[in-house]
Structure 1
Amino acid sequence: MNSADLGRRVGVPSTALFTDQYELTMVQAALKAGTADRHSVFEAFTRRLPEGRRYGVVAGTGRLLDAVENFHFDDEMLTFLRERNVVDGPTLAWLADFRFSGDIWGYPEGEVYFPGSPILRVEGSFAECVLLETVILSILNHDSAIAAAASRMSVAAGGRGLIEMGARRTHELSAVASARAAYIGGFDTTSDLAAGFRYNIPTVGTSAHAFTLLHDSERDAFRAQVDSLGRGTTLLVDTYDVAEAVRTAVEVAGTGLGAVRIDSGDLLLVAHRVRQQLDELGATGTKIVVTSDLDEYAIASLAAAPVNAYGVGTQLVTGSGQPTCSMVYKLVARAVSADPAEPLQPVAKKSLGAKSSMGGRKWAARRLDEYGVAEAEVIGTGPVPDGLADRQLLAELVRGGELVAREPLDAARQRHIAARQGLPMSAMQLSNGEPVLPTEYV
């Protein structure tokens, strides 16, 4: 397994300040109170899925492991904290020596999840676990939202190609994370070279309208592109007149033209007209790529169109209306000392309304029906029932502060395909609805 398979960890900075100030002030107060070393268990979960979603998708685990590994305070950071009086001297001394030394278990990347699923379990001292809260939630909430949107778009595409092209519609670093999450959720390629470089995702790209407008004629633009990139390139045909552009494209590139791209208009109607025209010109193998503010609903509406691939930008990198998964990170159990053998006491927030949670270190398993299709997400704190022992979902990710679960990105991608195929058919519906699996507590 080479470095490209695992993602290029190039110039990775410390992630220690990707946190909220109150994480550090809690550590300071706990150190002073003598409770910072208490053995504790935190879990990340969501109380509900975003409105209308039938399932969630775990994404960001690989990035999260990198973040944990690189969570340390350097001299410059400590100076910043000292000058701002964020924490006191003893706490700064503790932070200077900080390295996470606990254990992390979680749903493997690409797996699906449901309300209450213990997506991540972090175990160690209170201080070291609480420090990781913000960076964990930041990564999981963002990447899982993008992956869920990508998964829905993948279902809508029905096996046709999907190109992630949202880099210009979000923060430059979010664009790279979005491309990674989209690939897990079912997209095939990205236009973002940083994502291709860091995570070995296949990259694509040809030209924009500006390239056509640069030249004295559309024919000159097409000729320049074909001369440079070959007949297999994709020509953008909607800068002026689509029918004339298609005719010119085939004249310039020949019937072996790779593809044409349509970026505006009534895509259903235009795609049918372009397909007919290409066939009449003998370019029967030329593919049609459509772009233009697509989401899963627009993709589904083009199911009857002769389209070979969809390029999706804005709606994908913003989670198609659901940019976060609303995951939370809660203390669910703790001991009265640092001794891991000390009995854990379940703890839980007892809020009014929907913000209450269930205490105790949890396991999770997915029960199948007689046909091998998932029928329930089962969560418990006691012994695992015999029938579910081999269906448990949490995998070991970090042991004693050491990462034990690095894997190629394609493994997460294939895992998601398998997990989605194991759900009831109603999970593939795009209409609003309740989670496709109930969550059962035992």
Structure 2
Amino acid sequence: MRAATDEYLFDPPRVVSDMTTPFGTIPAEAILEGDATDAYFERTHTTLESAGKNPDVVAEITADQFPTGEFEVWTGIEDVATLLEGRNVDVDALPDGQLFDGGPVLRIEGPYLEFAELETSLLGFLSQPSGFATAALEARVAGPDSLVLSFGARHVHPSITATVERAALLAGLDGFSHVAAGDVLDREPGGTMPHALMFCFGEGNQAEAWQAFDEAVPVDVPRIALIDTFWDEVSEGLLAAETLGDRLDGVRIDTTSSRRGDFRHIVREVRWELDARGYEDVDVFCSGGIGPDAIRTLRDVADGFGVGSYITDAPSVDFSLDIVEVEGEPVSKRGKLSGTKQVYRTPDGGHHVALADRDGPEGGDPLLEPLIRNGEVVREFDLEAASERCLADAETVGFDE
């Protein structure tokens, strides 16, 4: 290991003398201008310009070269279109919300220096949102008839909360909790009360807290009482039902795994005791470390779920961008496949990769479609349509079966 006084193995760290945004985030201008990049792309640009080289290339973004049997959700493409708009390139890509399993998800054709320094941002726009959406789809298919909400905004930097919530909606979740993300996405956030509200009223005053909430919030906000703060869930659940009567829409159990015990038994007991006293219309919601396995275990006894860290902790999809053709000639690095490709969905849900100038599989629909032509975006983006596509394709390919 080099001593602290030795020369740096690479380059000395860049000293940033001034933060251009109050929370240390990268400004949009830096992304659009190509400054949000890895340093070696800047040096590649300098080198090629100095050498007078700027070949026409075909570059493809892939996660796996061949199908693996593990489908993932493709999203983030709208941001990619914004980044590449106005540049001298043609781009083809999968539709937003499409599931993929090997082969290219996006293709760029044009002079290399048109997009060389954008690679870092391009992959970032795609990798993390696709991971969020894939995890959210796993939660969705685990409880197809349940209300499933995204509660994960607190686990990520506030600057990307709209990205998380959009991915959740695309995967078919019913809503989310983050207010500012709702402004970005033009959706109303959901959510009722935290434990902090209950603490502010104190033990023994749970009924007063629920009554105050009922009197204060708009009538269109569901009355969902949090019932695991001070006493056992059954006791607080029955007290909430007695306190709010017909105005109570549901109860929420947010019991942490550290004391949960048999969570299914707790939920069943709450449901039983509510039903026994005539509160069959009061729904039971669960949150706190919920993922697909918990949803499958509880979906017959609970009505809805809040899913947080399972989505936000999802691994990013490991996309890479590789040149596969230079000046019309196929090329590739070791371990990658050369040549311009197309991917297909067959009626039985198969995912196929083939060279673009060859015939595809019988009955297969090509999935890479025009996104940009001569720098102009030629595709419209619609979240509802993307969500419908995602759920339909998940059924076609048997996602997470």
Structure-2-length-normalised TM-score:
0.85
Q: Which runs of 4+ in 1 moved over 3 A?
A: 11-14, 385-388
Which of 294, 312, 319 is residue 317 of structure 1 equivalent to?
312
Q: Tell me the amino acid that sits aligned with residue 292 of structure 1.
A: G
Query: Which letter maps to 1:47?
Result: D
CA deviations 1:73-126 (Å, max 9, x no partner) are xxxxxxxxxxxxxxxxxxxxxxxxxx52211110111101112x2101011111
Structure 2 counterpart of 1:278, from 266, 274, 278: 274
Residue 17 (str. 1) matches residue 17 (str. 2): no
Distance 2:119 2:345 in 1: 26
Residue 349 of structure 1 pairs with residue 333 of structure 2: yes
How many residues align? The count is 363
Q: Which amino acid aligns with 1:258?
A: D
1:212 pairs with 2:198: yes
* Inter-partner Cα distance in structure 2 for 1:179 and 1:233: 23
The alpha-carbon distance between structure 1 residues 141 and 288, as it changes in their structure 2 partners (threshold 3 A), is same
CA distance in 2, matches of 1:245, 1:14: 52
Which of 374, 378, 395 matches 2:353? 378
1:100 is matched with 87
What are structure 1's unaligned runs of at least 5 residues? 1-10, 70-98, 336-343, 351-355, 430-442
Once the two structures are superposed, the pairs formed by residues 1-400 of structure 1 within 5 Å of their partners are 13-15=29-31, 16-36=34-54, 38-47=55-64, 54-69=70-85, 100-115=87-102, 117-216=103-202, 217-229=205-217, 230=219, 232-241=222-231, 242-264=233-255, 265=260, 266-304=262-300, 306-319=301-314, 323-335=315-327, 344-350=328-334, 356-368=335-347, 373-385=348-360, 387-388=362-363, 391-400=365-374
| Contact 1:250 1:281 (8 Å CA) reproduced | no
Letter in 2 for 1:364: V
Letter in 1 for 2:47: A
Letter in 2 for 1:22: Y
What percentage of residue pairs aligned between the two structures are identical? 26
TM-score, normalised relative to structure 1: 0.78
Contact kept in structure 2, 1:256 and 1:283, CA below 8 Å: no
Q: Which amino acid aligns with 2:138?
A: R
* Root-mean-square deviation (Å): 2.1
Q: 1:385 to 1:250 in 2, by over 3 A?
A: closer
Instruction: Show CA shifts across 1:342-371 (max 9, x none).
Output: xx1111002xxxxx1111111111223xxx
Shift of 1:167: 1.1
Cα distance in 2 for partners of 1:385, 1:362 equals 10
Amino acid at match of 1:290: C
- 1:49: Cα distance to partner? 9.8
Indicate if the aligned counterparts of 2:62 and 2:321 stay in contact, CA closer than 8 A. Answer: yes
Partner Cα separation in structure 1 for residue 385 and residue 322 of structure 2:
29
Given that 2:192 and 2:222 are in contact with CA atoms closer than 8 Å, whether structure 1 keeps it comes out as no
Q: Secondary structure at the match of 2:353?
A: strand
Using the TM superposition, give the Cα deviation of residue 309 of structure 1 relative to its aligned residue in structure 2, in angstroms.
Answer: 0.9
Deviations 1:370-389 (A, max 9, x none): xxx2234232232334835x
* Structure 2 unmatched ranges of 5 or more: 1-26
Quick check: 1:256–1:286 contact (8 Å CA) kept in 2?
no
What residue in structure 2 maps to residue 78 of structure 1? none
Distance in 2 (CA, whole Å) between partners of 1:381 and 1:143 is 27
Query: In 2, are the aligned partners of 1:332 and 1:361 still within 8 Å (CA)?
Result: yes
Is the CA contact 1:40–1:129 (under 8 Å) kept in the aligned structure 2? no
What code does the residue aligned with 2:323 have? L
In structure 2, do the counterparts of structure 1 residues 12 and 376 end up closer, same or farther at CA, with 3 Å as the change threshold? Answer: closer
SS at match of 1:387: coil
CA distance in 1, matches of 2:44, 2:355: 29
Report the secondary structure of 1:238's partner residue.
coil
